[in-house]
Amino acid sequence: MNTASGQSARKLVLITGISGSGKSVVMNALEDAGYFCVDNLPPELLPDFLEVERAKGEPQVAVAVDVRSTGSPSVLADLIKRLSVEGLELRTIFLEASTEVLVRRFSESRRPHPLTGRAALGASAQPLHQRALVEAIALEREMMAGIRNLAMVVDTSKLLPAQLRGTVRDLLAIPHGRLTLVFESFAYKHGVPLDADFVFDVRVLPNPYYQRELRSQTGRDTAVMDYLQGQPEAQRMIQHIDAFIRPWLNDFQHDQRSYLTVAIGCTGGQHRSVYVAEQLAALFSPQVVTLRRHRELGDRTQA
């Protein structure tokens, strides 16, 4: 495998470590960042797999390898050493956690440890219980010790999933994903949108519906916009919603959110909520990717 001449994937991230330490969280984060991800690939197949991905033009590959797929951990350790000297941009991340935390995670998920019931723990497989689990974790630490010494170690014991995703992104210098801000108008008489993160009620504003010439129009029509533009309450409502959301944008971004939906509701979802959603989208679009969605009007457009 001639990596120096470009005969392999340019970037390879190996995710390994102790079972229950957060491998799935990390793989999901890498997939969201544009990596082609494969779980539980036997190390013996890795060179051929990289050749296939090179031929497909895949520049970023992430492979998860744990005690189930390694067979003999020494095979993976030898492969890491070999890849490291062949010019491949290789990063190996070893996830671990305290035994106490791992026991709790396995107990909560009700999933067996992959080494529970193996010969090293007894001649026959037995139902999972805490004593067998602790022994399985200890055995796995022993088996994976050689790989741990070759990797960046991340202790996930005190990390929430969002924090773990952020840690891996920082380790690999991956830009944090862009947040898309969705402003959705709706009618209360048809219920609050299920995907709403924040809901604001604008039924307190003057209603263009009671102006005969505006009744058949919407909050995107010039006459309705002019009417609400002249209402101090409408402008104050927009300012207050803006002032609430704007200071929190960076926090939602760092929380690895892909979408933040702000629902604006009025009685019929045609005038006031549409107008306010449109005005807010215009205010935020220079700063963040913004979508306008008008549920009762049956459309969705990008700002």
* Same domain flag for 142 and 204: no
Q: Which of 171, 206, 223 is the last residue of a domain?
A: 171
Answer yes or no: do 192 and 239 share one domain: yes
Q: Does residue 125 sit in the same domain as residue 218?
A: no
Provide the residue type at 10 as one letter.
R
Domain boundary among 115, 143, 171: 171
Work out the percent of the chain whose per-residue pLDDT is above 70.
86
Q: Cα Rg for the chain, rounded, in angstroms?
A: 27
Task: Encode pLDDT of 150-184 as tens digits.
Answer: 899 999 999 988 889 888 888 888 776 678 999 99
Helix orientation angle between 130-148 and 73-84, rounded to the nearest 10 degrees: 30
Lowest-pLDDT range of 114-118, 245-249, 282-286: 114-118
Continuous segment of H or E residues that includes residue 171: helix 161-171
Range of the domain at 254: 180-302
SS3 letters across 247-302: HHHHHHHHCCCCEEEEEEEECCCCCHHHHHHHHHHHHHCCCCEEEEEEHHHCEEEE
Q: Are residues 138 and 226 in the same domain?
A: no
Res. 66 pLDDT band, cuts 50 70 90: confident
Same domain for 202 and 155, yes or no, is no
Say if residue 146 is in the same domain as residue 27: yes
* Predicted pLDDT of residue 183: 96
Strand-pairing partners, residue 300, are 293
The chain-wide mean pLDDT, for the chain, equals: 85
d(CA 73, CA 144): 6
Does 184 lie in the same domain as 167?
no
Same domain, 288 and 152: no
Q: What is the pTM of this model?
A: 0.63
Q: Based on the fold, state whether residues 225 and 126 are members of the same structural domain.
A: no
Task: State whether 219 and 184 are in the same domain.
Answer: yes
* Torsion from C-alpha of 215, 216, 221, 222, nearest 10 degrees: -50
Query: Which of 122, 150, 171 lies at the terminal end of a domain, its last residue?
Result: 171
Are 115 and 219 contained in the same domain?
A: no
Task: Give just the sign of the alpha carbon dihedral 41, 43, 47, 48.
Answer: negative
Pairing of strands 259-266, 36-39: unpaired
User: Are residue 12 and residue 137 in the same domain, yes or no?
Assistant: yes
Q: Could you tell me the pLDDT band of residue 265, with boundaries at 50, 70 and 90?
A: very high
Other residues' Cβ atoms within 10 Å of the Cβ of residue 160: 11
Show Cβ contacts of residue 249 under 8 Å, excluding neighbours closer than 6 positions: 179, 181, 287, 288
Token reading at 125: 């497989």
Query: Which residue in 204, 167, 171 sits closest to 188, CA to CA?
Result: 204
Q: At what angle do helices 272-284 and 222-229 cross, to 10 degrees?
A: 80
Q: How many domains does the chain have?
A: 2
Using one digit for the tens of pLDDT, what is the confidence trace for 184-193?
999 999 999 9
Interior angle at CA 209, CA 205 and CA 212, nearest 5:
135
Q: Residue type at 37?
A: C
Query: Mean pLDDT, to the nearest integer, of 223-248?
Result: 96
CA dist 218 and 167 (Å) reads 46
Q: What is the CATH number of the domain that holds 121?
A: 3.40.50.300
On whether the CB atoms of residues 258 and 151 are closer than 8 A, the answer is: no
